[in-house]
Structure 1
Amino acid sequence: MEELNPSYFKDIMVLGCGNILFGDDGFGFHVIEKLKDLLTEEEKKRVALVDAGTGAPQQVLSLIDETTKTKKIIVVDIIDYNLKPGEIKILKKEDLPDPKHSRLDIHNWPLAGILKEVCEKYNIDILVVGCQGKYIPKPDVYIGLSKEVEKGVDKAVEIILKEIRNNSREGYDGR
């Protein structure tokens, strides 16, 4: 009997986070959309592109278990690290805030805890591709990215494609 495993649990999962209704918070969505157009058919068989929005990242991660084939998760989101708007920051598992010692997270929501837990429990590699936001108008709605973050989308896509293609050539076991 074939394992029941959602289609988004492939070798690599790119998890886009954020909300397109709040300006630069839509960064993750725009990266996922651009990757959809740039991945080869062969890469699409190995890479799941998941637009998780604002509330679903935790739910997607909670579905991972010992039957999941995912070996790497790349989280894409807007961040606030007091960088120049549009600047990209790469975080690995060891760079994530420890939820036991910090109440704030990468984007002021509690994703680091479940992300670390899932990656450690199931030996999954993690990479966060964060972009310093400029304009997040919550609670007002504004659809569209600032010019700086728009340029950050291209940088993030380039980093993610390189990560995917390097893993492909290495026969991926980045753990």
Structure 2
Amino acid sequence: MVRILGCGNILMGDDGVGVHVLGELRKMGLDAEILDAGTGGLDLVDLMAGADRVILIDAVRCGGEAGTVYRFSEKDIPRGREGVSLHDIGIPHAIELGRTLHPDRMPSTIVLIGVEIGRSEMGIGLTEKVKGAISVVVEMVKREVNSTR
């Protein structure tokens, strides 16, 4: 089973992009479980466990222009403060912890679709550049889901 996890905080502007994408994905009837992972952290370990494949969608800061969409395989997910997650425990650390604690329950494949953000201060709504990236993310996720068949 493919599990899609949208990460982010919709009260923090562009940081909520992963959650906003889920709304579009739910309309498509994909053969996947679609879950709001909130701000991630340690909860990601349990949310990933039990799936065959996981597609994470999250806000990133990789030095690109706001609205740029990246695809990272598990081994390529950047680590550290300037890397990916804007939440308490980073995505790479959650994956590592999950593989240590639940080696037999973690997915064989984990992919991160990241959207470069512009604004992550308190406020509801996405900037135009990040909002414009949603359709790109949806298409990438659709390809990822279909590539598992």
TM-score of the aligned structures, taking structure 1 as reference length: 0.73
Secondary structure of 1:127's partner? strand
Percent identity of equivalent pairs? 24
- CA shift, 1:96, in A, is 2.2
Q: How many residues align?
A: 143
Equivalent in 92, 111, 115 of residue 131 of structure 1: 115
Equivalent in 37, 44, 48 of residue 33 of structure 2: 48
- CA shift, 1:38, in A, is 1.0
Secondary structure of 2:10's partner? coil
Instruction: Specify every segment of 5 or more residues in structure 2 that has no aligned partner in the other structure, as ranges.
Output: none
- Check whether the contact 1:105–1:112 (CA below 8 A) recurs between aligned residues: no
Q: Which residue in 2 is equivalent to 1:18?
A: 8
The amino acid across from 2:45 in the alignment is L
User: Following superposition of structure 1 onto structure 2, how do residues 157-172 of structure 1 map, counting pairs within 5 Å?
Assistant: 157-168=138-149
Q: Which residue in 2 is equivalent to 1:106?
A: 84
The amino acid across from 1:113 in the alignment is H
- CA shift, 1:60, in A, is 4.2
Cα distance in 1 for partners of 2:14, 2:86 equals 15
Secondary structure of 1:38's partner? coil
- Check whether the contact 1:87–1:132 (CA below 8 A) recurs between aligned residues: yes
- CA shift, 1:58, in A, is 2.4
- Check whether the contact 1:24–1:144 (CA below 8 A) recurs between aligned residues: yes
- CA shift, 1:57, in A, is 5.0
Q: Which residue in 1 is equivalent to 2:127?
A: 146
Asked if 1:59 is matched to 2:23, the reply is no
Equivalent in 89, 96, 101 of residue 116 of structure 1: 96
- CA shift, 1:94, in A, is 1.0
Secondary structure of 2:140's partner? helix
Equivalent in 96, 106, 109 of residue 77 of structure 2: 96
CA shift digits 1:135-154 (9 cap, x unpaired): 111xxx31111111011111
Cα distance in 2 for partners of 1:78, 1:64 equals 18
Q: 1:116 to 1:39 in 2, by over 3 A?
A: farther
Q: 1:104 to 1:62 in 2, by over 3 A?
A: farther
- CA shift, 1:164, in A, is 0.8
CA shift digits 1:68-126 (9 cap, x unpaired): 2x11111100100011110001111111245xxx4665124422112134358235201
- Check whether the contact 1:14–1:49 (CA below 8 A) recurs between aligned residues: yes
- Check whether the contact 1:27–1:145 (CA below 8 A) recurs between aligned residues: yes
